[in-house]
């Protein structure tokens, strides 16, 4: 049996991260505009803030192409022949739209939020409410587990130290930070949305006063 050390990612987590990264690429290609790998990498960095490498991009593009979600395209005549452009397929559009409507887990939230402005209002509210409730419940579970860990530590011999309570406290702080972030994000996004929906006020231009037309003098009255 092969034992995995703490600093080695599991195959499951690596596969899950690849799937989430694939959704970001599909989201960038969703507008049906051709993009080559370097352009996708630049947009991924700009939107997500992740220092993704060109090697990561091409490996993920190869995986998506193998699943029929993206395809290579013919380069325009004036384009660099060394850069192969990609476009999303109909299967890829359906896969991205389904993920946008129902992301598989809370781990997807950071990538899902990159495209939150494309999500219908009722779906957005439902998902954000669900994630907020899941985080709140998780915080309660961690608090109970920490109380149990402290009680058990009190019954252990003094020469034995169990760090479980401290580790649970760390995770509680992480959950609290996620809840605070979600609250701030919702306020910021709703403020932006309201500004987008507000009609633009047109500047009032003062009407120029034209001189009254001169009346021609008629024949004198008798």
Q: Look-up: residue for tokens 């994000």?
A: 185
Binned at pLDDT 50, 70 and 90, residue 10 comes out as very low
Q: What pLDDT is attached to residue 196?
A: 85
Q: Give the whole-angstrom CA distance, residue 112 versus residue 117.
A: 10
Opening angle at CA 176, ends 170 and 178, nearest 5: 105
Q: Give the whole-angstrom CA distance, residue 36 versus residue 160.
A: 57
Q: Name the average pLDDT for the chain.
A: 82
Q: What pLDDT is attached to residue 21?
A: 83
Q: Look-up: residue for tokens 């987008």?
A: 196
Asked if pLDDT for residue 18 goes beyond 70, the answer is no
pTM of the entire predicted model: 0.69
Q: What pLDDT is attached to residue 7?
A: 35
Summarised one tens digit per residue, pLDDT across range 155-194 is 877 778 889 999 999 999 999 999 999 999 999 999 998 8
Binned at pLDDT 50, 70 and 90, residue 36 comes out as very high
Backbone region of residue 209 per phi and psi (left: phi > 0; alpha: psi in -120 to 50; beta: other values): beta
Q: What pLDDT is attached to residue 213?
A: 60
Binned at pLDDT 50, 70 and 90, residue 217 comes out as low
């Amino acid at each position: 049996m092969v034992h995995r050390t703490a600093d080695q990612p599991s195959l499951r987590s690596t596969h899950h991260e690849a799937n989430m990264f694939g959704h970001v690429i599909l989201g960038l290609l969703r507008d049906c505009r051709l993009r080559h790998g370097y352009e996708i990498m630049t947009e991924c960095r700009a939107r997500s803030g992740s220092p993704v490498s060109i090697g990561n991009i091409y490996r993920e593009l190869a995986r998506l192409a193998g699943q029929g979600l993206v395809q290579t395209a013919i380069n325009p005549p004036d384009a660099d022949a060394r850069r192969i452009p990609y476009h999303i397929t109909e299967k890829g559009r359906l896969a991205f739209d389904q993920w946008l409507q129902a992301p598989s887990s809370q781990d997807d939230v950071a990538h899902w939020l990159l495209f939150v402005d494309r999500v219908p209002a009722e779906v957005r509210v439902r998902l954000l409410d669900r994630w907020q409730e899941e985080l709140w419940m998780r915080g309660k579970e961690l608090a109970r587990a920490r109380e149990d860990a402290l009680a058990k530590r009190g019954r252990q011999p003094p020469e034995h130290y169990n760090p479980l309570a401290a580790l649970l406290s760390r995770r509680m702080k992480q959950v609290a930070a996620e809840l605070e972030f979600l609250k701030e994000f919702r306020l910021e996004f709703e403020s932006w949305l309201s500004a987008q929906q507000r009609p633009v006020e047109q500047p009032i231009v003062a009407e120029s006063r034209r001189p009254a037309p001169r009346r021609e003098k008629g024949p004198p009255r008798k």
